[in-house]
Structure 1
Amino acid sequence: DFNFGERWIPTGVYSAYMSHLFNTQVSIVYSDSMDEYSAKCSMKTMAITDEYMVKGYYRHYDGMSLMKHALHNTCPDMMKSIGEDEHGNDIKVRDSEGIQLANAKIDEIRNGFSEWLEEQSDSFKERLTTMYNRKFNCFVRPKYDGSHQTFPGLDLKALGGKYGVKSVYPSQKDCVWMLLQNGGGICDHEVGTGKTLIMCMAAHEMKRLGMAHKPMIIGLKANVAEIAATYQTAYPNARILYASEKDFSTKNRVSFFNNIKNNDYDCVIMSHDQFGKIPQSPELQRQILQAELDTVEENLEVIRTQGKDVSRGMLKGLEKRKQNLEVKLQKIAYSIEQRTDDVVDFRMMGIDHLFV
């Protein structure tokens, strides 16, 4: 079962379905950078202006509008007036009846897509299935066996005394081995299966094996102190820098950043909020914005070649985004030229691996 609006399906398939449904030629275009569909029809038929029309208090939604909502899996937020206030302005509330009707029409479009696909030829369905399998079913999830690891320096006795940890679970060993093999990864274990210890062991092993020079663990404000305590208990001889609230006060922050930069810690541990306060170098900001601007310009070039098949709204949106990026780049270029201080930014700290 393929859903209407899935991004991997060629827009030509959606165009063919909507042309059949609306009894007119419908052209659909997808902008990857904006994650947005736009559509046009050669003529407005009764299906568009009547059968799939939903009339609201302030505006009407014809079949083309509802089709776009169906593609994006959204619903129009319809409002209606229930009177006027003392200033003569409309008192607006959500139009529940209109929203329900719009939802019903949108569901009809989405469900009709599956029925239309079933009616297509076997060769068409086979091509679409092959396309899906090549994109999503072409990978075999590897299995990792970390049973051979010994974790030098790990103090199981201390972990047992404080947390009741008698040994490292096989699942923890396998997960650490996966992180080491891939240079990172996702540890999607359930709550209570020892993800905190996995992070600590993986960070320490990366440092010990020379895979990372200065790893950093970022935790939630509520449990970051527990992460630091677990690491220190597991590896009592490790050089750990834990960022307290005092360290990140305005007057101490610069000194703390220099501390990270100038010392060879086994691991630096801090909260998400604290991490967000570490400045990025203007050069890196410029690099990121320039890459985004290049992507926008590429999309603009592609969209312009599509001519009348593209909505003016999509084109204007990309042009506005380009202008905003250019302004940001100009500001960063100016800040680089005028820079006189020696602020320690993230790049200068030597952090080369993040655990979140």
Structure 2
Amino acid sequence: AAGPEFGRNADQLRVVQPPDLLPGDIDANLGAPWIPGSDIEAFAAELFRVDPKSITIGHLKKDAVWSVDAGFSAEKSVAATSEFCTARANANWLLELALNMKTPVIYDTIRGDHGEERVANQEETLAAREKQKLIKERFRAWVFADPERTERLVRIYNDTYNNLRPRLFDGSHLEFDGMNQTISLRPHQKNAIWRAMSSGNTLLAHAVGAGKTFTMAATGVKLKQAGLINKPMYVVPNHMLEQFAREFMQLYPNARLLVASKEDMSRERRKHLTAKIASGNWDGIIVTHSSFERIGMSNEYQQQFLQNQIQQYSDLLVEAASSDSTRRHRNLIKN
């Protein structure tokens, strides 16, 4: 929609729009997903002093996998076989590892009484990593050296990542029915609860002692009271089961809690526990990480999940077949 009646909205959006980041504020490293493969190809061609057509860069964005398909001239160029390589680490391989955020390890094969064994060669590995470090440094010096490329990449980065204004959540209006009246939640806890209620998922990246247990307990109760969920489940570290349950009851003395112990997850009692979870009107279900892992998913859900995964990769193959992807890049998808 457009028109003069929306002018006020547009003005307010301009006020809160984040300012563009400058090149010095952006980490542009090899393997950054926002840098186009064509720029990596241009860098590799300049680094190895070969024609850009002799190097093809593939990028499988879904799995964050990069591939380097180097032609004969790129494989055998002076720079690739001397300046940026070692006797046992080709420069194109080092570039591909850098794009995939990996470091090289050189192995020796040792034959002994019990067969062959691969052992890391520390000296060769260190030499290969030094060459890879040199490639990374060259890229950082190259990426923003050209004004046109700098302007284009900075625009891509800002449009892709610097386009959100974090929402501020104010939970001061919340009331907590059934909560222990001797306990008052702090403002940051109320804000976190309101954020969870508004957003659907929330990371409580609070420091130790900031009251995360109370925040989680109150969030679950408020979500249930608001009709947004039926029964909250809390999956806690194994050693915190009793502590979490105790603090929950301290905050909500009349809460109906189901605390699943290790014994409840035994083979004999597991079905009984899941039946209680499904049929009970619980204010909170508390289980440990290891117990939660034992609760299996239905066959129907697993089959649907696998079918969705297969369909996604089938779509990727179709997309790769219709583009200029290299055979090596298509093999990455198949594998």
Match of 2:121 among 95, 101, 122: 95
Q: Percent sequence identity over matched residues?
A: 27
Deviation at 1:187, TM superposition (A): 1.0
Alignment-mate amino acid for residue 106 of structure 1: Q
Task: Name the structure 1 match of 2:93.
Answer: 65
Alignment-mate amino acid for residue 133 of structure 1: N
Q: Equivalences for 1:31-180 in 2 at 5 Å?
A: 31-42=60-71, 43=73, 44-55=76-87, 60-80=88-108, 85-86=112-113, 89=115, 92-120=118-146, 122-157=147-182, 166-180=183-197
User: Once superposed, what is the RMSD of the aligned Cα atoms?
Assistant: 1.9
Task: Name the structure 2 match of 1:262.
Answer: 279
* 2:239 matches 1:222: yes
TM-score between the two structures when normalised by the length of structure 2: 0.85
Task: Name the structure 2 match of 1:29.
Answer: 58
Q: Equivalences for 1:289-328 in 2 at 5 Å?
A: 289-306=306-323, 309-311=326-328, 314-320=329-335
Deviation at 1:49, TM superposition (A): 2.1
Q: Distance in 2 between matches of 1:141 and 1:190?
A: 20
Change (3 A) 1:33 1:139: closer
SS class of match (2:269): helix
Alignment-mate amino acid for residue 309 of structure 1: T
Task: Name the structure 1 match of 2:265.
Answer: 248
Change (3 A) 1:308 1:258: closer
Alignment-mate amino acid for residue 239 of structure 1: R
Q: Distance in 1 between matches of 2:171 and 2:84?
A: 58
Change (3 A) 1:123 1:249: same
Q: Distance in 2 between matches of 1:150 and 1:19?
A: 63
Q: Distance in 2 between matches of 1:227 and 1:92?
A: 47
Change (3 A) 1:7 1:222: same
Question: What are the Cα deviations for residues 62-94 of structure 1, in whole angstroms up to 9, with x where unaligned?
Answer: 11111101111212221236x75346x566532
Which protein has greater RCO, CA pairs closer than 8 Å, 6+ apart? 1
Contact 1:75/1:99 (8 A) holds in 2: no
Contact 2:106/2:121 (8 A) holds in 1: yes
Structure 1 unaligned regions, length at least 5: 158-165, 321-356
Contact 1:29/1:310 (8 A) holds in 2: no
Match of 2:206 among 189, 195, 201: 189
Q: Distance in 2 between matches of 1:177 and 1:307?
A: 48
Change (3 A) 1:48 1:305: farther
TM-score between the two structures when normalised by the length of structure 1: 0.80
Alignment-mate amino acid for residue 253 of structure 2: P
Deviates more, 1:302-311 or 1:142-151: 302-311
Stretches (4+) displaced over 4 A: 89-92
